[in-house]
Amino acid sequence: MRHLISMKHMSNVAIYQLFHKAEQIQKGQYRKLDKQMFAANLFLEPSTRTKNSFIVAERKLGLEVLDFTEQGSSLLKGESLYDTARTFESIGADVIVLRQEQEGVLAHLTEKLQIPIINAGDGSGEHPTQCLLDLYTIFQEFHSFKGLKVVIAGDIRHSRVARSNAHALRQLGADVAFVSPEAWRDDTISENYISVDEAVEFADVMMLLRIQRERHSDKDTTQEYLQSYGLTVERERKMKEHAIVLHPAPVNRGVEIADELVEAPRSRIFKQMENGVTIRMAILSTLLEGEIRNENSDQKYQNA
């Protein structure tokens, strides 16, 4: 694997190998890169968690960080995204982390560039690093995905997180259901939609999604959302004792989830953020050191 663009390109073995590396990293059993290397972070959409967790991950590994923003760049002069990426490759970048709003352009870049490219979010397409940290958080809790009941709730149509997670969770053996207002459903992802009240009793994992206001033509989309589709205190009380709550953040408190539940005992929202650094360290070191394979995973994970 030379790039990380889509969860559709990740085998179960490759996913579990990343988990194994992440576990080693959390135990402090990793080494910094033994030569000077550069990571180019090209973030053309706003980001707090993804961008800064990549920066922390890169610096922990010993990478030099090339921090790029569109403002003040030659993109504003008409330069193409390919030429910008090719420029970073030419001046010595060893890996590109790219977040941008257009779907389908990353495949073109991977055909043209020789250095690894990591998809840090492409519009409403996919968000594989967020997916992998979500999966790792679930795996830490349950140690298996087979038969696990997962609900993805919220703005399904516009969510790259939903698209990546839906594919990967089903591939790993989870039973995945969805909650969404009808206008935000996407039948290309799934037709298995249930009510939020059914979902809270069904779920081992309740994965809430942010309302993607910036992708809506109608910006007034939050009125009464919590009562109709969100996780209220009353609904949380009906969840299984062992069930956990995830959210990729940023969280709209009081919209997707009641404010007091964001840091409640069953919430793993800030654990996801912590795992974001670890998983991104695992991804970067794997791509730069060429360690990922798609066969013969460690025996520990064979039956997970």
pLDDT digits (tens, 9 = 90+) for 244-284: 999 999 999 999 999 999 999 999 999 999 999 999 999 99
Reduced to 3 states, what is the DSSP secondary structure of residue 121?
A: strand
For the ranges 61-75, 136-150, 189-203, 234-248, the lowest mean pLDDT is seen at 61-75
Give binding residues for L-aspartate as ranges: 77, 160, 210
pLDDT value for 79: 87
Q: What secondary structure letter does DSSP report for 257?
A: B
pLDDT value for 297: 43
Q: Where are the beta strands (DSSP E) in the chain?
A: 38-43, 64-69, 95-100, 117-122, 149-153, 175-179, 205-208, 244-246
181 CB-side CA count, 13 A: 17
pLDDT value for 107: 83
pLDDT value for 213: 59
pLDDT value for 69: 75
User: What are the structural domains of the chain?
Assistant: 7-126+272-289 (3.40.50.1370), 128-269 (3.40.50.1370)
pLDDT value for 214: 53
Residue 29 has pLDDT above 90, yes or no: yes
Cα dist from 70 to 6, 122, 193, 213, 260, whole Å: 24, 15, 38, 22, 37
pLDDT digits (tens, 9 = 90+) for 64-104: 999 887 666 777 778 889 999 999 999 999 999 999 887 77
Q: Report the candidate in 194, 203, 196, 190 with the shortest Cα–Cα distance to residue 245.
A: 203
pLDDT digits (tens, 9 = 90+) for 150-200: 999 999 998 999 999 999 999 999 999 999 999 999 999 999 999 999 999
Average pLDDT over residues 112-121: 95
Give binding residues as ranges: 49-50, 77, 99, 127, 130, 160, 210, 249-250
Residue 292 has pLDDT above 50, yes or no: no
Mean pLDDT score of the chain, rounded to an integer?
Answer: 91
Give binding residues for carbamoyl phosphate as ranges: 49-50, 99, 127, 130, 249-250
